[in-house]
Structure 1
Amino acid sequence: MTIVEADEEQWQEYDALARRAYGHPVEDILRLGAHADRRVVMRSGKVIAGGMGMLIPQVFGGRAIPGACLGSGCVAPEERGGRLAGRLLTERIRALRERGAVLATLWTNSNGYARKAGWEAPAQVFTWSVAADELRRSFRRHDFDISHGLGAEAERLRRDLAHQWNGPLIGPEWWTSWQREKYGSTSYQFSRRGEAPAGSVSLSARNRERAEVVVQEFWASDDDVASAMLEFLGSYSSSVPAIEFERTSLPPYPVLLHNLHHSESASARAKPGWMFRILDFEAAVRLRGWPNDVEATVPIRIAADGGDSREHYALRIADGKAELSPTRLESRVTFTPRQFAVWYAGGYRTVATARLSGVRGAPEELAPLIRATTDREPWMSDHF
């Protein structure tokens, strides 16, 4: 058995395998193959597993960090149970690290399996359904002009706003067009008269068993434009009973729930979250953005789950920069690799949440570390 970078014939064979394994076509396998690192497992000249990874920067602390997005992986049903997926995942990550990735992200329905492989979800993820009539009644459009389609200024706004959160991807030009082609999205931009766009929304209007409107993207620079965008979505009330917000569409801000007249008109459903892993701890800390008003030097240990580790570091944060370097000092804070990833992403909002998640350390040692990553909240704005 060998794991190789797939040629075109092997990738076509993998596409057929994925259709059989998933029970439906996986269009991204062929659509994104030209942009991805493609790995397949071969046995006796036959493809029995595979997956792809794409080098996409990911924003943390206001800076874009070299990252990798892993997707469309599967193992032939008759080959499952032999830990083949884990071996393949290790090889896929190795290839992407060699090309510069220091972080990796994936979406999966198998959260337990991903955790065993070293991944963790840094934030809770929900889809939302809100009565369209309630949106129409609860929000005002103000004086915004609405234009169909997104121009270059709206795309720049999206990138600028992404730097206000921990986790958004900064994809190449083909990434945005692929996302909208994938969902069949229609986009609108919102501008104050005579000014550049202040917000944009992308949605899919479908009519299957029932008419529905699903929002994939929702980018707002302030609460006024967010209100205008929500009122605009409420204008679909004549054709659909509710507006569905995809799990990647709404950032974790309160503008929706805090302004509804009747909060019971909204319902949330938990979804599997985006899973995150740090591939190179020292590089990830060095490249990340850090608050200018936080200074700390804390010896830490990054210990494997359930085991001992000699990975002792001194973490130094000052003047908007940080460094993680090996040390012989006795550690006062202990993370597992998964906990370190959540902390890095700003997923621990308080000392209490960190300690209840199993991070070891005295509150006075943890407090400056928590402040260092909570200036931005974690949010993944794309599904892949």
Structure 2
Amino acid sequence: MNAPISIHAANEHLLQQYQDLATRSFGHPVRDIALLHPHADIRVAVRAGTVIAGGLGLLLPQYFGGRPVPSALLGAGCVAPEERGEGLAARLMQERLHALQEQGAVIASIWTQATSYARRLGFEAPTTACSWTVATDDLRQTDTAPAVTVHAGNTDDSDRLQRELARCWNGPVARPPWWTAWTRAKSPNPTHTYRFSHPGAPPSGLLTLSMGQHQDTAEVTVHDAWTSDPLTTRAMLDFLSRHHRAAAVTFRRSVLPPAPLLLHHLSKSRIITRSWNPWMLRILDPEQALRARGWPADLDFTLTLEIDRPGTKPRTYQLHVQDGAVDVSPTPATPCIRLTAGQLAVWYAGGYRSAAAARLGGVNATSPSHLETLIRAAAAREPWLPDQF
């Protein structure tokens, strides 16, 4: 008979076993385990003194509606190949989420290929995730503004710009002070940061890239791209076009926001688009998550929402939004809108851009006006998670 399985916070001995297991599970070392150890909550499943599964989590805010919402960011989850197929991944996931929820998380995010598995646990993808490879020459801008200057390195002002722009979308991580050093340390090639500015003004753009070599071909990869206006966007693309040693520039997965920057600014539309596994979101505590996010100041409405989450009975809440403030409370009233856990996550992130999209997603409403009101409440900002973890 197999020995029982227990789940623990990882000590130094268990951490080393977890690192070894991750290498065996993924086929390569997972540097994030050691790099994030000082900042992460790491849980491992142990049988007879041996680590057979593990995963790490970061308790950090994500911006929704312009406000930071405490989130559990999950990464590096793995199960020993010989232990798979017995539901251990789901059990470990719940333990990881429970630990981070006790520390204050009200939502959770994960990048995963196992979308059906995550969906059964209440996660859903608010948007697609793509990378783009563009011919370097096609990035050249004939009408770029020469007044936009470029300087190497980031500053307090450019970090402030990144935080301000992140608030304009639903999903970006409110990056802690150690975030930049971690992303540099885990990159296989050195990264370089550039800031873009108008005359006499603080930075209006921030770009981080790395350069590498694949066989005889130079490679440029963009890791971070933040821009606040069209002139800065054109200056940034033109700057990338000067990297002539590389035939193409790759914008890594989800580095660009859901705006048609490449569509509107390329001299030729020679783009290779690759679809990747998506960011998936779960609402751990609907009441607290709804209270934590921001709401449009020009809306005034009251709706009753029934939310059906895995493992619990459906619950109905009254949602009242007025002057940018929200009141959420359980109610026995008949719901006017019914949402599954996945539909709640997509709506919360602004993933339904119209009532028609919500209906196609299966959202059930008693009237079109109720559904249109619900969509307007969350759609002022679009979903975008540029941060990899």
- TM-score, structure 1 as length reference: 0.96
CA 1:139/1:16 → structure 2, altered by over 3 Å: closer, same or farther? farther
**Is residue 274 from structure 1 mapped to residue 287 from structure 2 by the alignment?**
no
Cα displacement (A) at 1:213: 0.5
Q: Secondary structure at the residue paired with 1:9?
A: helix
Counterpart in the other structure of 1:296: 301
CA 1:60/1:260 → structure 2, altered by over 3 Å: closer, same or farther? same
Superposed CA offset, 1:113-168 (max 9, x none): 11111111101111111111011145624311111110111011101110011100
Q: Out of 21, 26, 32, which is 1:28 matched to?
A: 32
Counterpart in the other structure of 1:260: 266
CA 1:147/1:161 → structure 2, altered by over 3 Å: closer, same or farther? same
Q: How many residues are paired up? A: 381
Distance 2:17 2:145 in 1: 51
Give yes or no for contact 1:139–1:228 (8 Å, CA) kept in 2: no
Superposed CA offset, 1:316-358 (max 9, x none): 1111022221111111111001100110100000000000000
Cα displacement (A) at 1:55: 0.7
Give yes or no for contact 2:139–2:265 (8 Å, CA) kept in 1: no
Counterpart in the other structure of 2:384: 379
Q: Out of 195, 210, 229, which is 1:222 matched to?
A: 229
Q: Secondary structure at the residue paired with 1:48?
A: strand
Distance 1:313 1:138 in 2: 54
Give yes or no for contact 2:141–2:234 (8 Å, CA) kept in 1: no
How much identity, in percent, do the aligned residues show? 47
Opposite residue 289 of structure 1, the aligned amino acid is G
Cα displacement (A) at 1:262: 2.3
Q: Secondary structure at the residue paired with 1:34?
A: coil
Superposed CA offset, 1:344-374 (max 9, x none): 1000000000000000012111011111111
Opposite residue 230 of structure 1, the aligned amino acid is L
**Is residue 234 from structure 1 mapped to residue 238 from structure 2 by the alignment?**
no
Q: Secondary structure at the residue paired with 1:341?
A: helix
Cα displacement (A) at 1:171: 2.0
Q: Out of 214, 220, 223, which is 1:208 matched to?
A: 214
- TM-score, structure 2 as length reference: 0.95
Superposed CA offset, 1:43-78 (max 9, x none): 111111111101111000000011111101100111
Distance 2:301 2:51 in 1: 51
**Is residue 82 from structure 1 mapped to residue 82 from structure 2 by the alignment?**
no
Opposite residue 43 of structure 2, the aligned amino acid is R
**Is residue 338 from structure 1 mapped to residue 342 from structure 2 by the alignment?**
yes
Q: Secondary structure at the residue paired with 2:29?
A: coil
Opposite residue 117 of structure 1, the aligned amino acid is L
Distance 1:207 1:150 in 2: 25
Give yes or no for contact 1:49–1:74 (8 Å, CA) kept in 2: yes
Return 5+ residue gaps in structure 1 as ranges. none
Cα displacement (A) at 1:181: 2.5
Cα displacement (A) at 1:248: 2.6
Distance 1:7 1:255 in 2: 46
Q: Out of 1, 9, 14, which is 2:18 matched to?
A: 14
Q: Secondary structure at the residue paired with 1:173?
A: coil
Q: Secondary structure at the residue paired with 1:56?
A: strand
**Is residue 370 from structure 1 mapped to residue 372 from structure 2 by the alignment?**
no
**Is residue 125 from structure 1 mapped to residue 129 from structure 2 by the alignment?**
yes
Give yes or no for contact 2:122–2:309 (8 Å, CA) kept in 1: no
- 1:148-227 superposed matches below 5 A: 148-183=152-187, 184-209=190-215, 210-227=217-234
CA 1:374/1:208 → structure 2, altered by over 3 Å: closer, same or farther? same
Distance 2:273 2:35 in 1: 32
Superposed CA offset, 1:200-234 (max 9, x none): 10011110222110101000111110110011011
Opposite residue 92 of structure 1, the aligned amino acid is R
Distance 1:280 1:258 in 2: 40
Q: Secondary structure at the residue paired with 1:35?
A: coil
Opposite residue 202 of structure 1, the aligned amino acid is T
Distance 1:95 1:287 in 2: 20
CA 1:153/1:308 → structure 2, altered by over 3 Å: closer, same or farther? closer
Give yes or no for contact 1:21–1:75 (8 Å, CA) kept in 2: yes
Opposite residue 68 of structure 2, the aligned amino acid is A
| Worse-matched range after superposition: 281-290 or 191-200 | 191-200
Give yes or no for contact 2:302–2:318 (8 Å, CA) kept in 1: yes
Distance 2:151 2:250 in 1: 22
Counterpart in the other structure of 1:49: 53
Superposed CA offset, 1:145-202 (max 9, x none): 1111101110111011100111000121111221122223111011122221110100
Distance 1:63 1:139 in 2: 36
RMSD of aligned alpha carbons: 1.4
| Worse-matched range after superposition: 134-143 or 251-260 | 134-143
